[in-house]
Structure 1
Amino acid sequence: SASLAAKEQGLKYITIEQEESLGGAIFKYPRNKVAMTQPVHLPIVGLVEMYDISKEELIGFWLRIMQEQVIPVRFNERMETISKTEHGYAVKTSKSTYETSNILLAIGRQGTPRKLNVPGEDQAKVIYRLIDPEQFRGNHVLVVGGGDSAIEAAITISEQIGSIVTLSYRSEAFGRIKPKNREKLEVAITNQKLRVELQSNVKEILPESVKLELATKEIIEIPNESVIICAGGVLPTPMLKEIGVMVETHYGTKPAAVR
């Protein structure tokens, strides 16, 4: 939207995107997941009315707009630093440095995937988003996190033939998930489709297993072939503060303890 607005105003601009495609958080959705949207007015394009649409259809729409309007997007290029210059700013990325008089940050809330910083996390079997649940068919899988993305990943993988799923969450309850996900989780637990370990922490990721510290402080080792970490993202807060962007954190009330 910002790129279309820049083109509409006749500005000289480029768009930097750290991922390999458009979509932001939606690009990281599992395959065929339905994205909930609402009507929106896009510069140049006009009113776009979409409601329940698959991830692939929505991203396909955005890519068509980008191609039709010849939007200059630099994919797989991560912004690293912004520094003040005599005539504006210098934006250093993973591939180049750009001189500009104005910058629009449209980085969303997800940021860089949050890591656990535990031994073995650098292995190829550790990923930070679920793309295709079917690839975990017949696998021992550990999902880490307590939000909707973690719940949805654990449930969809548990539905695959032969998969054995453990969901590890460091808190005592799932307090921020959608009602539908809570219901599906309860059904999966009741049907013994997946195992949930609340107040647990990953201690070490080994080539063929994972060590978990349980609520009782007991450390167990379970078979494992894949680890999916859904622990949210880390915003570049230090960099933002360095360039004068004020960042405030607001905390809500503590949710009721629900299993």
Structure 2
Amino acid sequence: MKHFDLVIIGGGPIGIACGLEAKKKGLNYLIIEKGPIVNSLFNYPSNMQFFSSSERLEIDEIPFISKEAKPKRNEALEYYRRIVTSNHLNIQLFEKVESVRKSEHLFTIKTKKGTYTAPHVVVATGFYDLPNTLNIPGEDLPKVAHYYKDPHFYANQKLAVVGASNSAIDAALECWRKGSEVTLIIRGAEVGQRVKYWVRPDIINRIEEGSIKAYYHSTLKEVKENEIIIDTPEGDVHLKNDFVLALTGYKPNFEFLEKLGIELSDDEKRLPNYDPETMETNISGLYLAGVICGGMETHKWFIENSRIHAKVIVADILTKKFVESKDS
């Protein structure tokens, strides 16, 4: 069993920022990541381009240089990996946290590889691990995926893409350009307003010219081996189909947060209880950082506006340590 001043759960950009700040301030810390460095970014689509410009993705004022103003996935992987290796951050990779228990003033963090204790814990696990499922017949078929990686896989195939946000629209356009016969299934009346401003006109033009078929005010009703059934305002539509990309968004691991004792709001937003001045939750010594703070409002927090969480959290920990040392 190893003891630390701070254990950070999650090795994404914000978890890395917390580790950097802890190291700068002399705290004995550990970052635990269940996958590779910046696991969520690693699992993004191969050709993904960020909405934010590179300087907005910087952490700890370390320059992020990219070929274009808005960097690609591989450039981000290189940037954050170099930060970890160059700064010799104390990070354990491919180590999933199984439980976190608090006894008096100390947390015990158990993983498949070890057990750690610390008076302070930061949860910076993001929301990319759990997809919002459709809960329809056939969703468990091998032809259905909730994550999209590369358009080559879908070349010359009949592909249905469910969703109207950035991930769905990017996938629809990329796969169409690689030869897929793409059908978009959109629950609302239009392509999402938050779609990247240089992409939205592209998809609208492809729909209007008939290159990509779009069903609005529609939902996917059922998936079968060789077809799908779409519930549209005009009734059920049966289409021949090879693959389905259900890109309907993702959500934080609320079950994990509840097991930690973090209170969540009763409404559909499921906002976690934390003090925005310190990022400390209703559990003393337990902090939240990054996009997980937004609950189901996954569009609220990004790297660019949550990187400050690292400094806020470490400052609060140091304040508490100072008070405790004075009292003792």
TM bin (shorter chain): 0.7 to 0.9
1:6 aligns with 2:22: yes
**Pairwise CA distance, 1:73:** 3.1
Aligned match of 1:220: 237
Give the conservation status (yes or no) of the 8 Å contact 1:159–1:193.
Answer: no
Runs ≥4 residues deviating over 6 A: 247-251
Aligned match of 2:142: 124
Of 55, 77, 84, 1:59 maps to 77
1:37 aligns with 2:59: no
Which has the larger helix fraction? Answer: 2
Alignment of 1:68-87 (within 5 A): 68-79=86-97, 81-87=99-105
* Separation in structure 2 between the aligned mates of residue 166 and residue 239 of structure 1, nearest angstrom: 36
Q: Partner letter of residue 32 of structure 1?
A: N
**Pairwise CA distance, 1:159:** 1.1
* Separation in structure 2 between the aligned mates of residue 16 and residue 118 of structure 1, nearest angstrom: 35
Give the conservation status (yes or no) of the 8 Å contact 2:127–2:253.
Answer: no
1:143 aligns with 2:161: yes
Q: Partner letter of residue 262 of structure 2?
A: I
Q: Partner letter of residue 34 of structure 1?
A: Q
- Unaligned runs of 5+ residues in structure 1 are 252-259
Structure 1 residues 149-191: Cα deviation after superposition (integer angstroms, max 9, x where no partner): 1111111111112x11111122223342333332111211133
Aligned match of 1:104: 122
* Separation in structure 2 between the aligned mates of residue 113 and residue 15 of structure 1, nearest angstrom: 24
Aligned match of 2:247: 230
Worse-matched range after superposition: 89-98 or 143-152: 89-98
Please tell me the root mean square deviation across aligned C-alpha atoms, in Å. Answer: 2.9
1:48 aligns with 2:63: yes
* Separation in structure 1 between the aligned mates of residue 294 and residue 62 of structure 2, nearest angstrom: 33
**Pairwise CA distance, 1:47:** 3.1
* Separation in structure 2 between the aligned mates of residue 96 and residue 169 of structure 1, nearest angstrom: 45
Of 164, 174, 186, 1:156 maps to 174
Structure 1 residues 196-238: Cα deviation after superposition (integer angstroms, max 9, x where no partner): 111222222222222222223x223322222112111122345
Which has the larger strand fraction? Answer: 1
- Please, what TM-score do these two structures have when normalized by structure 1? 0.80
* Separation in structure 2 between the aligned mates of residue 120 and residue 196 of structure 1, nearest angstrom: 21
Percent of residue pairs bearing the same amino acid type: 26
1:243 aligns with 2:281: no
Q: Partner letter of residue 130 of structure 1?
A: Y
Alignment of 1:178-217 (within 5 A): 178-216=196-234
Structure 1 residues 32-84: Cα deviation after superposition (integer angstroms, max 9, x where no partner): 333332156644xx531434322112202221222233334334444455332
Aligned match of 2:187: 170
Give the conservation status (yes or no) of the 8 Å contact 2:227–2:240.
Answer: yes
Give the conservation status (yes or no) of the 8 Å contact 2:157–2:242.
Answer: yes
Partner SS state of residue 137, structure 2? coil
Q: Partner letter of residue 69 of structure 1?
A: N
* Separation in structure 2 between the aligned mates of residue 107 and residue 239 of structure 1, nearest angstrom: 10
Cα distance change of structure 1 residues 200 and 20 upon mapping to structure 2, 3 Å threshold = farther
* Separation in structure 2 between the aligned mates of residue 250 and residue 160 of structure 1, nearest angstrom: 33
